[in-house]
Structure 1
Amino acid sequence: MNALKVLVVFGTLSTINAINTFKDCGSVTGHINSITVTPCPSEPCALIRGTNVSVEIDFTANEHSGKVTTSVHGIIAGIPVPFMSTDSCTAGNVQCPLATQTHSIYTNYIPVLTIYPEISLLVKWELKDEHDRDLVCFVMPATILDPSHQAIG
């Protein structure tokens, strides 16, 4: 009976591995349709050191943009700490140029390095257009954890 319980729990956890809630923090030239962060079964997202967390943003561009830049910050005690900034078009995260009313899927991942401290923070993820305006902007609560401290279930 215990083995059956373990199988049910693991089966449930493997199908519920992405959270689709977010807080829009000022999308100006685009509209967020959905966001999937995997694995993230609940908030705050547990970012386990030594793993990768994938991010998929389904969005619609309200204006043409020939360039899209990714900007990611960790907000710790109200202070934004730069984490990543890349040209999303050349990195292959999104297909450019974006035409007005274009539906797009952006994909990327966050490497959670083992040197990161265990800490609670907000992750601010922005896609900026060619004029440095927020095409998409969202914030999600997260906690960086050592693998030995992650909660099960």
Structure 2
Amino acid sequence: MTQRFKQLETAAQGTREATRDLLDAARWNDAGLIPAIAQQHDSGEVLMMAWMNRAALEETLATGRVCYWSRSRGKPWRKGESSGQVQQLVTAHLDCDGDTLLLGVDQQGPACHTGRRSCFYVALGADTAHVDSAPLVDPHELYGER
């Protein structure tokens, strides 16, 4: 944990810091990325986890449209750019260690590339796991043939 986040542990509610300074103090991984959890702002439903680099986070904060970093494509991934399933930013929070983001979003349609509302659809039990939700949309309709 950086000193800046340590100081925030005892900060009074309403304390203000420059976003730039907190992003400087955030704990980006060796690839310059930070995990970002997207949660539907009004229901609390956890939709997905993706990665952001600083440029993607700054774009998201500036535009209100969520942009992640695609590790597989090595470029910005503006959620909904090809599928139309856009995420609008409502809130953004860093956790107490400055190493994870929680994004409150307004999700348009499914969040998952499988066509499901959430990427978290495989429920684990002690002995078995099961798929607990069906796709809302056929992924081929979202993306065409992959």
TM-score, reference length from structure 1: 0.25
> Which has the bigger relative contact order, CA under 8 A and spacing at least 6?
1
